[in-house]
Amino acid sequence: AMSDAAILNLVLWLPVAGMALVWALPEERPDRVRWATFWAMALQFVLAVWLYVRFDAADPSLQFATRLPWIPDWGVSYLIGLDGFNVLLVLLTAFLGPLVVAGSFTAITKDVKLFHAMLFLIQFAMMGTFVAQDLFLFYLFWELMLVPMFLIIGIWGGERRIYATLKFVLYTAFGSILMLAAMIYLVWTLKSTTGVDSFAFADLYGVRLPADAQTWLFAAFALSFAIKVPIVPLHTWLPDAHVEAPTAGSAILAGVLLKMGTYGFMKLGFPLFPEAAKLFTPLVMSLAVISIVYGACLALVQTDIKKIIAYSSISHLGYVMLGLASLDLIGIQGAVIQMVSHGLTAAGLFMMIGMIYERCHSRDLAAYGGLAKILPLYSVFFLLLTLGAIGLPTTSGFTGEFLSLLGAFRAAWGAYEAGVAWPLWLVGLAVTGVVLGALYMLWFAQRFLFGKLKAPHLPITDLSTREVAVLAAIVVAMFALGLFPDEPMSKTELAARQFQQLVETGGSAFASVR
């Protein structure tokens, strides 16, 4: 039997083998390329499920770890493993992989081999970013993600794809360069204070920095992560990238890539610089609430169906940041569930928009109406995903948003009892995001599916078996997480407690405000 650590390495490196496999297949047989990619991704998912099941919720240490010296002179090691921070995100990434491939079977007709090779490459980079437990390795994977995304948008994207892909890369690269500088300073400090040469997260958590140094380093890391999330006002690359990306690109971007930022805050930003994190918490919470409300307001006025979902992502990730910044156990766990939930609903909705775009070649909301009459299957799935995005109880969206808000409210109430009133107002404002979310999504669904029939290019066919299978998998996962959140939350609970200990709060995010 293979060891679980070996299986985790297989989960990580399988896409690299997939790239080689795809490269060996003939270009004139695109269906072979598609199916080979699908089965390789499906295998990765099966292995990820095995690891998820084997993951011991009662063990706070790193599980299935592999540690190999890589550049020993610098203290860099190949160090990967699963913990409560990344176990659900690894599962989400592996789950969406085969679905994204299956969803783009008919959409991608040019450079099919290169496209699937890029899907493998981005899968490898995303998996690596989540499982890396060494800062050098993390950074390599973090930067590697840019390459396939740049090409996916730049080669298979829409009209303004070059503008969108350059904007995406420039924004992200700018944040990353600051993170690199902060990283080098952090490792150098560890070496000069303790004599230890190491990039391992576990060692870096122990670095005790003066408050002013922490402030600068936190700012550098936070900027890099905030661009990825994206938090308002660093969000303007997102709608362009989403609108111009092919469906697969949008689904990966919304499903997994945006979680890199929130994961970065959870795994590195807050725990590495606890003093600065506490100092910045009121700012982070305020920006999170602005993102929730502003993102929802922007979604409300869009006429491009892809932009509605793109702006809704900004709003939904605001809840994740709010839950994390509350530093409350329930809020932190809610943030993790919300990350996974948004990954499911947003990827599903982007795929559905891709499906209708393939049929009608229009993204203009005004061109649509009355689809429920001619596409009943499509409409049922669209409404289910819409309700998940709104956060209807029984769906994962409810669990994530409710717990994030509950955690934020508990933190705000603690501050209120200590004589600080504004956090309570802030969380009250965040709740309006739930109402606005229902407003823009239901209004979108009403104009899109109901009313007078005016779908372009009639007649159009309803969902194929392949499309139904992809969407059914997402909907089942959405309800599973919504109805049975206890099991996944037990896997993240110790990590959430560890996060709290690393940031060492006096039980409230607003300890510093007093």
pLDDT of residue 512: 45
pLDDT over 90 percentage in the chain: 78
Question: Looking at 40-54, 161-175, 285-299, 429-443, which range is the least confident one?
Answer: 161-175
* Tens-place pLDDT, residues 202-217: 999 988 888 899 999 9
Chain-centroid distance, C-alpha 193: 35
3-state secondary structure of 64: strand
Angle at which helices 87-103 and 329-360 cross, to 10°: 10
Average pLDDT over all residues of the chain: 92
Query: Residue 132's beta-bridge partner residues?
Result: 80
When pLDDT is averaged across residues 317-330 and rounded to a whole number, the result is 94
pLDDT of residue 1: 58
| Beta carbons within 8 Å of 100's beta carbon, 6+ residues apart | 119, 248, 251, 252, 255, 347, 351
DSSP 313-352: HHHHHHHHHHHHHTT-HHHHHHHHHHHHHHHHHHHHHHHH
**Rounded CA gap, 177 and 353, in Å?**
34
pLDDT of residue 513: 42
DSSP 471-507: HHHHHHHHHHHHH--HHHHHHHHHHHHHHHHHHT-SS
Q: φ, ψ for residue 113 (rounded to 5)?
A: -65, -45
Check whether 511 has a pLDDT greater than 50: no
**Rounded CA gap, 479 and 86, in Å?**
21
| Beta carbons within 8 Å of 220's beta carbon, 6+ residues apart | 178, 179, 181, 182
pLDDT of residue 508: 47
CB 246 within 8 A of CB 151: no
CB 463 within 8 A of CB 377: yes
Q: How is residue 225 written in tokens? A: 């992560």
When pLDDT is averaged across residues 482-505 and rounded to a whole number, the result is 91
**Rounded CA gap, 28 and 116, in Å?**
14
DSSP 406-445: HHHHHHHHHHHHTT--HHHHHHHHHHHHHHHHHHHHHHHH
* Tens-place pLDDT, residues 439-480: 999 999 999 999 888 867 678 899 999 999 999 999 999 999
pLDDT over 70 percentage in the chain: 97
* Tens-place pLDDT, residues 54-93: 999 999 899 999 999 999 988 999 999 999 999 999 999 9
> SS in 3 state form for 132-168?
ECEHHHHHHHHHHCHHHHHHHHHHHCCCCHHHHHHHH
Q: How is residue 40 written in tokens? A: 């390789």
Check whether 514 has a pLDDT greater than 80: no
**Rounded CA gap, 183 and 189, in Å?**
10
Q: How is residue 151 written in tokens? A: 């090409």
**Rounded CA gap, 338 and 494, in Å?**
18
When pLDDT is averaged across residues 317-341 and rounded to a whole number, the result is 95
pLDDT of residue 2: 73
CB atoms within 10 A of CB 20: 11
**Rounded CA gap, 61 and 332, in Å?**
18
When pLDDT is averaged across residues 427-441 and rounded to a whole number, the result is 94
When pLDDT is averaged across residues 313-329 and rounded to a whole number, the result is 94
* Tens-place pLDDT, residues 223-241: 999 999 999 888 989 999 9
**Rounded CA gap, 344 and 45, in Å?**
15
Check whether 510 has a pLDDT greater than 70: no
The pLDDT confidence band at residue 175, using thresholds 50, 70 and 90, is confident
